[in-house]
Structure 1
């Protein structure tokens, strides 16, 4: 068997896997930060040159990003940064409006004192990131907050769906907060939701959560429609 046709050894496969994971992480951050906008073509040869590596780990990294929904493999174009249409944004937020308040009604009665403290700490961290303009952290902290609110609902399938929806909302959430300037409102509503849960006013907390998601959806859809009309 010639060297060209011989299967790669274990260490070679491990090295490619490690390098591809690092490339995928670097590209993921650039996509989530908005440095790589939806529709941008990710050419394997250009990426290989930029990272100083072969095309094999680049191809593997792009497949990882496709599995995460951040990249689409398009015939005759290769990999492009994935984006959301207005209709997809509306669909995502409509699903969240339906699911999250119901899950909160199940989760909040099971909060321990430690859970409430952790939520307060997370809202403080999120508020500080909002005020500091740390845009790269907004989406992830928002996702953590919403999932932590719902984690005790004992509905693993519903939580898995919500987790995926929140992941899809990462970039849109940062866009909505950046363009609308609603950072103070987002911070205040998160804080109020936790306070209502702590006070045992769980139905009111669920109502506020529903309004919180719906308000973000209205703002974001308006931003998307303005962008498409421009």
Structure 2
């Protein structure tokens, strides 16, 4: 398939904005002005619009017709709903993926869990945590759940950062223990156990976030 110049520019713009949102450099509710993006990348408005539509489908940007684009944000109630959804569908996605693991998959996950435990940097932890969980679902072969989970992960990235920052030493220890326990159940071939660990792991994040409503406060930008 031939990639047009506008198509290549659109992908490049989308990748850059996506990295800025996931990396916390663009906060929820931040306005994204097409003219500023076009000037930054030396592009016309067309690839910028295509990039923003792509980011909207990823759950990262909200487009309002004839008004503009903003980094997507959630209310506490919306975030709780998303986490409750994740509690139910991610264990199922994990179960779909387990039979298709290559021989070294659990070793890869175990190494990522060790790296998360070793780092004290929040941004590095978030990158490793995302890689850990999405890798655990890789190969599931689903036509719907996998894409939905990626979108839900995107939409909650900022709030996972707030959750991670809020952890005290005891809660941080629990997070690491759950990652190690998940890899142990996977190594043992215990799909039921892995589902239960993952469900509790996601629920713990939801309950902790619900104790910090200030994370969801929004100032117009």
Q: Do both share a fold (TM > 0.5)?
A: yes
Given the alignment of the two structures, is residue 185 of structure 1 paired with residue 174 of structure 2, yes or no?
yes
Report the CA distance between 1:139 and its aligned residue: 4.1
Given the alignment of the two structures, is residue 197 of structure 1 paired with residue 201 of structure 2, yes or no?
no
Q: Secondary structure at the match of 1:83?
A: coil
Q: Is the 8 A contact 2:112 2:132 kept in 1?
A: yes
Q: Secondary structure at the match of 2:104?
A: helix
C-alpha change, 1:160 and 1:67, in structure 2 (3 Å) is closer
Q: Secondary structure at the match of 2:63?
A: strand
Report the CA distance between 1:216 and its aligned residue: 0.7
Report the CA distance between 1:86 and its aligned residue: 1.4
Q: Is the 8 A contact 2:112 2:128 kept in 1?
A: yes
TM-score between the two structures when normalised by the length of structure 1: 0.76
Runs (5+) with no aligned partner, structure 1: 1-10
Give the Cα–Cα distance (whole angstroms) in 2 for the partners of residues 111 and 120 of structure 1.
14
Q: What is the root-mean-square deviation of aligned Cα atoms in Å?
A: 3.0
Runs (5+) with no aligned partner, structure 2: none
Give per-residue Cα distances to partners, 1:162-216, cap 9 Å, x unaligned: 3333333333222211233554432221112111332345433332222111101
Given the alignment of the two structures, is residue 114 of structure 1 paired with residue 104 of structure 2, yes or no?
yes
- Tell me which of the two structures has the higher relative contact order, counting C-alpha pairs closer than 8 angstroms and 6 or more residues apart: 2
Give the Cα–Cα distance (whole angstroms) in 1 for the partners of residues 43 and 79 of structure 2.
36
Deviates more, 1:169-178 or 1:50-59: 50-59
TM-score between the two structures when normalised by the length of structure 2: 0.79
Report the CA distance between 1:229 and its aligned residue: 6.4
Q: Secondary structure at the match of 1:73?
A: strand
Q: Is the 8 A contact 1:193 1:208 kept in 2?
A: yes
Deviates more, 1:148-157 or 1:74-83: 148-157
Greater C-alpha Rg: 1
**What number of residue pairs does the alignment pair up?**
215
Given the alignment of the two structures, is residue 173 of structure 1 paired with residue 163 of structure 2, yes or no?
no
Per the alignment, residue 5 of structure 1 pairs with none
